[in-house]
């Protein structure tokens, strides 16, 4: 508002000084020449001082207005010079062309649409469009200035200013939800004031009573106060990050510059017939030639700018496609009706499908309905929400995997979905690790419970067995002695169970020594050789040569191997047919592995995760305690090894893996050698 007040005060001061110098025409002319330059130059200076505040199309908007103010200053200077040197008292001469350019500059500047953001990539093409309009407008001005009558030029100036007012009002409505609404409002008010004062001047000029240093000079003073007011309060350009969304708006069509080129011949033909002027025919020919020659380079520049933008867009698109394809996430693009549109390489590999095969499928063909269907997900997404959850994908070979998915819709300008994008991550391994962790935590909790129960049972059990032993020694009756022997047998069995419970719970390593896993396997088979031969079970042994020696507790490792052999024996016998057990050793990746496999019925998939739990057994009542595998697992882990159930086409296959100690021994030897070196 301060600039507007300053403009009013300046206008009043100008009128006062002009009235005081009314009788001194020479001094008054010099005063007008200097005083009329101040308003447009002030606006241009304010804009230039704030040039760092704007960028892209927003700076193009203000630079176009600043250029218009400079053109107005040139027109006013020429007007004053024409009056001082040639004594002309009318403004309808060549300086009016520059003044009209200054008036129409805000209309051209609106092509930049600054309220839509900086939009750096569009600034070059928009500048070419503005230049093309300026050339065509200058071509029109040249015809009207040279016309015999001043009426056409007065009409053009009037219509032009009215068009600027309407355009600024329309821009104010278009930017009503942006920070630029106030800027457009101030410029619209200035255009309206200019229109009113210009109308007054044109009426007087048409009647031939226009004179300088009178109220008509307000046409060139007061309206210019609105430009620095608007420029001072205009919002600054957003940062590059904040303006990203604005840059992605629809690019302008090159209709401006191409329309300008197409209309030039028709405008020239029409104007020569509407306002013929044989005296200035040569000048008009020259004006037409200059306009065409000026527009053609602009056309070439516009095409070059469009090509540069397309190349930049193409490189950006290639980068996005590369990122899309190289992403480790599974990305699937669907049409709104659920047809597969595209998928990245990671998704195709995970599904076992090629991109061409994928395009013939629908979303429902790629997933198992496990609580939620593809139609349910798409219904949520089409409603404008983002769906997050887990889905079960089906591969081409029929296998499945679990995927964590985020599904969202891509919307067009009116809010309708054009595509549906699903970004997923295979979480099968995470689920397996989580289940393994839960299983380990469960075993740990059971181990603590078992240790307490075993200790509580051990004391009364020892007393019971000791008392039974005394009764047996003192008893002479055969039948009673037999019953006591049965009690002692059951007590020993219970003591063995308690011992296994404590071994499972402690997970502690006893005394260890160097042992050969091949020898442990052979001796374990010897212990069961007679029984295996008796029931007709064939034994195959494949021992690896040069197997590294181990540092283990031999008795515990043999207990593990015996448990595996006896479990395999029980599995083969339960099949009620001839079978075989295979024991195999090998070295791999700094570890030694012993496998025990059989051709029995195998372990059902639904029970595979529970076989290492304490007291879980697939044997009949009285045939097993359910502690064999859990105790064996504890022994393996106490030796920093592992006991696993491996996939097998037939029967069951268990692998005991123990670390080879040679690397640790070599590291210890080096440390000893370095510490015992000379001081």
pLDDT on residue 166: 92
Protein fold of 2-236? Rhopdopsin 7-helix transmembrane proteins (1.20.1070)
Digit-coded pLDDT (tens) for 276-319: 555 555 555 666 656 655 665 665 666 666 666 666 666 667 77
Q: Averaged over 177-183, what is the pLDDT?
A: 89
For residue 140 the two structure tokens come to 């029109």
pLDDT on residue 541: 92
pLDDT on residue 593: 93
523 pLDDT more than 80 = yes
- Half-sphere exposure (Cβ direction) of 501: Cα atoms closer than 13 Å: 20
Digit-coded pLDDT (tens) for 221-257: 778 888 888 888 899 887 644 444 444 444 555 556 5
For residue 183 the two structure tokens come to 């800027």
Residue 595, helix vs strand vs coil: strand
Please state, as a whole number, how many other Cβ atoms lie within 10 Å of the Cβ of residue 363: 22
- Integer CA distances (angstroms), 220 to 16, 61, 99, 494, in order: 16, 22, 9, 114
Please state, as a whole number, how many other Cβ atoms lie within 10 Å of the Cβ of residue 74: 18
Protein fold of 513-665? Heat Shock Protein 90 (3.30.565)
User: Of 272, 269, 277, whose CA–CA distance to 149 is shortest?
Assistant: 277
Residue given tokens 């020659």 in the structure block: 293
Digit-coded pLDDT (tens) for 635-646: 888 888 999 988
Residue given tokens 């597969």 in the structure block: 340
Question: What CATH architecture is 432-506?
Answer: Orthogonal Bundle (1.10)
Q: Averaged over 185-190, what is the pLDDT?
A: 90
Protein fold of 327-426? Beta-Lactamase (3.30.450)
95 pLDDT more than 50 = yes
Measured CA angle at 192 (ends 189, 197), to 5 deg: 125
Residue 98's H or E segment, with its range, is helix 94-109
Kindly state the percentage of the chain with pLDDT values over 90: 8
Digit-coded pLDDT (tens) for 109-126: 888 889 888 888 778 878
User: What is the residue extent of each domain of the chain?
Assistant: 2-236, 327-426, 432-506, 513-665
Range among 62-66, 255-259, 326-330 with highest mean pLDDT value: 62-66
Q: Averaged over 376-404, what is the pLDDT?
A: 85
């Amino acid at each position: 508002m301060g600039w507007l007040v300053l403009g009013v005060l300046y206008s009043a001061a100008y009128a006062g000084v002009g009235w005081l110098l009314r009788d001194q025409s020479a001094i008054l002319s010099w005063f007008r020449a200097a005083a009329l330059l101040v308003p447009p130059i002030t606006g241009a200076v304010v804009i230039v001082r704030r040039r760092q505040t704007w960028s892209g199309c927003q700076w193009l908007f203000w630079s176009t207005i600043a250029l218009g103010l400079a053109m107005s200053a040139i027109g006013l200077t020429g007007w004053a010079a024409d009056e001082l040197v040639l004594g002309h008292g009318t403004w309808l001469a060549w300086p009016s062309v520059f003044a009209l350019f200054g008036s129409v500059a805000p209309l051209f500047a609106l092509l930049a649409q600054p309220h839509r953001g900086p939009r750096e990539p569009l600034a070059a093409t928009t500048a070419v469009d503005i230049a093309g309009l300026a050339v065509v407008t200058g071509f029109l001005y040249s015809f009207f200035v040279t016309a015999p009558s001043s009426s056409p030029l007065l009409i053009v100036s009037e219509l032009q200013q009215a068009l600027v007012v309407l355009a600024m009002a329309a821009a104010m409505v278009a930017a009503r939800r942006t920070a630029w609404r106030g800027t457009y409002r101030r410029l619209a008010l200035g255009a309206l004031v200019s229109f009113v004062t210009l109308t007054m001047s044109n009426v007087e000029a048409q009647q031939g009573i226009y004179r300088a240093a009178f109220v008509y000079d307000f046409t060139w003073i007061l309206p210019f106060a609105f430009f620095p007011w608007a420029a001072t309060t205009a919002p600054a350009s957003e940062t590059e990050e904040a303006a990203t969304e604005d840059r992605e708006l629809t690019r302008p069509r090159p209709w401006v510059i191409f329309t300008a080129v197409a209309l030039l011949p028709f405008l020239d033909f029409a104007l020569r017939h509407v306002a013929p002027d044989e005296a200035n025919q040569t000048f008009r020919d020259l004006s037409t030639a200059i306009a065409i020659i000026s527009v053609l380079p602009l056309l070439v520049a516009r095409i070059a700018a469009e090509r540069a933008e397309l190349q930049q867009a193409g490189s950006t698109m290639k980068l996005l496609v590369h990122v899309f394809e190289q992403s480790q996430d599974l990305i699937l693009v669907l049409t709104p009706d659920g047809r597969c549109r595209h998928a990245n390489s990671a998704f195709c590999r995970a599904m076992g499908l090629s991109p061409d095969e994928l395009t013939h499928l629908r979303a429902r063909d790629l997933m198992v309905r496990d609580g939620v269907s593809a139609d349910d997900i798409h219904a949520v997404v089409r409603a404008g929400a983002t769906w997050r959850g887990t889905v079960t994908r089906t591969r081409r070979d029929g296998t499945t995997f679990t995927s964590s998915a985020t599904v969202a819709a891509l919307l067009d300008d009116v809010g309708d979905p054009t595509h549906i994008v699903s970004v997923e991550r295979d979480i099968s391994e995470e689920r397996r690790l989580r289940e393994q962790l839960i299983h380990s935590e469960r075993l740990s909790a059971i181990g603590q419970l078992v240790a307490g129960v075993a200790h509580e049972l051990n004391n009364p059990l020892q007393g019971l067995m000791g008392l039974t032993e005394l009764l047996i020694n003192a008893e002479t009756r055969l039948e009673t002695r037999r019953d006591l022997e049965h009690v002692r047998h059951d007590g020993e069995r219970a003591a063995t169970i308690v011992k296994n419970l404590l071994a499972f719970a402690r997970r502690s390593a006893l005394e260890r020594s160097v042992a050969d896993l091949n020898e442990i396997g052979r001796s374990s088979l010897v212990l069961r050789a007679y029984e295996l031969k008796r029931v007709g079970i064939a034994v195959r042994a494949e021992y690896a040569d040069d197997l590294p020696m181990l540092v283990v507790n031999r008795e515990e490792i043999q207990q593990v191997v015996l448990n595996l052999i006896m479990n395999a024996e029980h599995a083969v016998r339960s099949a009620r047919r001839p079978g075989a057990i295979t024991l195999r050793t090998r070295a791999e990746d700094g570890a030694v592995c012993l496998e025990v496999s059989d051709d029995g019925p195998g372990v059902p998939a639904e029970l595979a995760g529970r076989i290492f739990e304490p007291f879980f057994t697939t044997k009949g009542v009285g045939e097993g305690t359910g502690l064999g595998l859990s105790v064996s697992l504890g022994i393996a882990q106490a030796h920093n090894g592992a006991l696993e159930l491996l996939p097998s086409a037939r029967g069951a296959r268990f692998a005991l893996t123990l670390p080879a100690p040679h690397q640790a021994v070599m590291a210890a030897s080096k440390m000893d050698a370095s510490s015992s070196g000379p001081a």
